[in-house]
Structure 1
């Protein structure tokens, strides 16, 4: 679940800081931030993103190397193991699914037979239903607009259409994306805009499959990201009834193919999108069918979160969490140079390296009053699965977890004057971050791309939806040298050329001028929380406030 501020484009949304909600009693701080070793951070990134780690895919030899390295660094720093049964590891059972060989995919559009190439016009995922094959012939396709059923907004894109035995074709993002205003918060993406929601809704509707139409702007990433992610190994949490959450076929199609489907049915693609932005939209049966035939290998495997603890001196049962995901995409389709290893240097060896350096700092300094948990989670790239599992099976009680500070690409490409967080949120933890940033001469900038749905795309989200105050740090985009314009330019280059591609590799020539400042801000926020005794909360109008308030009696 930022861009070339070393924050990935999928992880940013407009945020509104709360006003002065915190009293002076938050200030019981310990020593100032320690010195951070940029060379050591660089070495951790270089090691974790090397070809030897094979892209850090869960359930691969690369995972074993990765988690062993993280645990060894935590042990060397002086942390206590905080995983299962006194170990460094928390077992995370997952369903792992792979398409065997090359899938046979085709459509009949109008009367024309149209073969489809996996990764080109279409990208289908391995079925996550547990079935051993996907085989169907000439199933009808139905365009359902944005595929949203939101009774609280008086919105229903399905209007009673029967999707059983049919393939649902759906637009990505919210109905408000194109016009910037409406029932879904304008440019601010709601969960209804996420492809994960659309897959879930397809299952609820009883569809035989679902195809999301890819467009770079509303998706917030290019086709290369879809192709490289969705044609790879799929993981999911182990579900009692996986078919309640997944259809047998889930995937994406290119916009040109979607336009071809609609044209054969006498409808212009842009006109169909315009119609889909209105409440009175009616589903459109397409003059097209789809056939598919491929085998799926499905296994239940165990991946691992890695957890190390610095025990609190005064309130050891209360917890502050720093988190980062250690996984990336592993080995996948080759790029134009034939490189098949998705090294994930920025996404997210950099966050893991920051986690380790912070762990060294806390373990080597005065004991904090609250315990601090350093949590490296698995399978973020497969749907925040490691953090989702932790949130369901916490190693430390969520009710007495004061806050979560997540790091996913936490360093800027160069020194910045600002900082941000991933996602639209109103909470005291952001107020604290803003205050700590101000002390360092940096200001908070709300995300300029609220349509990207970043709040739902990083490892803080599973904790947030269970009420725990949680943010994912973003290093900002306003460069000291060149300002926001140059920051955006470099971010766009990263998104286009490196994000979720083999080219996301360690580079010894990186400008590291922002790193100490980012580490200091991350440390100061956590240190303030760990050496105080306040309990940050969400704003009164936050959807997470009631969940947090329900556990208030468990906090001293």
Structure 2
């Protein structure tokens, strides 16, 4: 660790000219070392690790001099926002089987299939011979004149769907080419199936269009599930939600006299029609479900001139907790990069603002829960904001920064058309750094980070990420490091802190994120979405609440 401050100092006088508040790499790394230690048991929401995590983050914010900004209780702000959630888990080992072309085939949870605990409120899931129906990408997009269902009644059927959009492999078409739309996300596939009354969903896993391997799917879906509390959960969830391995799908299609690749090719056309498979799924398992309360952590630095206007810094504190063991027998999903390092940046961001002149606008430091369960903490805050969204200037989210050292560039999650990105690029130029668009827009990162619930409600919001053009090693080294992390550590117990990290890059990213927030906090700027953005219209409806 001793080399990081020296490296940072050298870079500050060479590649990066901007002298902003110093973010100490060793301090950032130390926060991660603590939060990602086994003692925090993977920071699962509503586990014994939650109060421990809250105590650490709140303790740091208190010591820095930040004030509580959470729920009002007895006329006083607390440090947290209550987030009611439905928690569900499968009891015991589920009984799962598929009868394909007359032959019964048992399935093992986590091997050929990854089944989520029912989130529709059912305490028992019992399906007997639910017929399988291939519905392509499972998309209904009237504005694109696209309908994979073609009027077929799918009630009571088990839908087999492909992950991502119909354009993923072709690179062009009605869904914008490689860049994933929300139609490509697994969350959409489940939602559309529920709207149509299906018995369940089998999403076919393929690594490239999913952007992660089977280990990630298994670890993310076979443990305890969470959802926001809904008035009608059955409207959002089918009884059975799952992923299956590609090899299983290929066999099911072959048993039905179909070629999987040919069927996928057909699904890439708007002329596609659903294809019944000669297969049926049976399942039987109990589900333990209950409503629990998790917590967002909220600290606030009140603005000196415009305290009613807010810039939000956010990061999620949760990870996957304790789950299935890996090949080494490790069951703790420590979540060091994802996202203890984002919380480290959040804490040190608070320190930097508290140590400087009081900003004109207020700064909110928001550590959200249950991101790993579907952006639930940020969704709850966006639906129940503690400070009005109309006068929220923007959200700057941090999630999974690189540990490979300083980069000449930076990026954001997904593609965004907004003035906030222009500001970020301008601040990056002061560091001598350049903006690189998300190199994997097909992975749908825009819909996978905590800025999205705010964005869809019109608030200018982005997730800022590390670049890949490393000062030491260039793009090839940066890309190799990113790919290795996704392959070997993402959502796996191996995502652990190590003293070998080069946290100097995270410190430089933190300086950039600070500079953007400071720019917004001490100006009268109201960044907005571009005129052709899908989020512009909803933002403009609240324009009258914002003072010039």
Q: What band does the TM-score fall into relative to the shorter chain? A: over 0.9
2:61 pairs with 1:80: no
User: Is it true that 1:67 corresponds to 2:54 in the alignment?
Assistant: yes
Shift of 1:512: 2.1
State how far apart, in whole Å, the 2-side matches of 1:199 and 1:477 are.
Answer: 33
Structure 2 gap segments, 5+ residues each? 1-17
Q: Choose the corresponding residue for 1:137, options 124, 128, 149.
A: 128
What value does the CA root-mean-square deviation take over the aligned residues? 1.0
1:100 paired residue number: 91
TM-score w.r.t. the length of structure 1 is: 0.94
Which residue number corresponds to residue 493 of structure 2? 502
Partner of 2:183: 192
Q: 1:349 aligns to what?
A: 340
Residues 1:55 and 2:46 aligned together = no
Distance 2:503 2:316 in 1: 21
Please name the residue that 1:489 is paired with.
480
Q: How does 1:126-525 map to 2 (within 5 A)?
A: 126-525=117-516
Give CA deviations for 1:131-154 in whole Å, capped at 9, x if unaligned. 111011111000000000111111
What do the CA deviations read for 1:238-287 (whole angstroms, capped 9, x no partner)? Answer: 00000000000001000000111111111111000000000111100100
1:412 CA displacement: 4.6
Give 2:22's aligned residue: 35
SS of residue in 1 equivalent to 2:423: helix
Q: Is the 8 A contact 2:25 2:504 kept in 1?
A: no
Distance 2:120 2:423 in 1: 43
C-alpha contact 1:82 1:309 (8 A) present in aligned 2: yes
Aligned residue for 1:372, secondary structure, equals strand
Q: Distance in 2 between matches of 1:515 and 1:155?
A: 43
User: What is the Cα deviation at residue 205 of structure 1?
Assistant: 1.2
Contact 1:350–1:411 under 8 Å retained in 2: no
Residues in 2 aligned to 1:419 and 1:412: alpha-carbon distance in whole angstroms: 14
**What is the distance in 2 between the residues matched to 1:524 and 1:354?**
13
How far apart, in 2, do the equivalents of 1:80 and 1:149 lie?
46
Q: Distance in 1 between matches of 2:484 and 2:512?
A: 26
Q: How many angstroms apart in 2 are the aligned matches of 1:37 and 1:480?
A: 18
- My pick for the range that moved more, 510-519 or 280-289, is 510-519
Q: Tell me how far apart the structure 2 counterparts of residues 448 and 361 of structure 1 sit (CA, whole Å).
A: 31
Long gaps (5+) in structure 1? 1-30
Whether the 8 Å CA contact 1:411–1:518 is kept in 2: the answer is no
Q: Tell me how far apart the structure 2 counterparts of residues 182 and 461 of structure 1 sit (CA, whole Å).
A: 24
Q: Which runs of 4+ in 1 moved over 4 A?
A: none
Count residues in correspondence: 526
Alpha-carbon deviation of 1:32? 6.0
Partners of 1:147 and 1:393 lie apart in 2 by 31
SS of 2:277's partner is strand
Distance 1:81 1:447 in 2: 35
Q: Secondary structure at the match of 1:477?
A: coil
The 2-side partners of 1:276 and 1:36 are apart by: 50
Please state whether the residue corresponding to 1:217 is helix, strand or coil. Answer: helix
Give the SS at the match of 1:297: strand
- 2:15 corresponding residue in structure 1: none
Cα offsets for 1:309-345 (capped at 9, x unmatched): 0110011110000000000000000000100000000
- Cα deviation digits, residues 173-215 of structure 1 (max 9, x gap): 0000110000000001110000000000000111000110000
Larger RCO, structures 1/2 (Cα 8 Å, 6+ apart):
1
Distance 2:477 2:396 in 1: 27
Partner of 1:44: 31
Preserved CA contact (<8 Å) 2:319 2:372: yes
Distance 1:173-1:464 versus aligned 2 partners, 3 A rule: same
- SS of residue in 2 equivalent to 1:180: coil
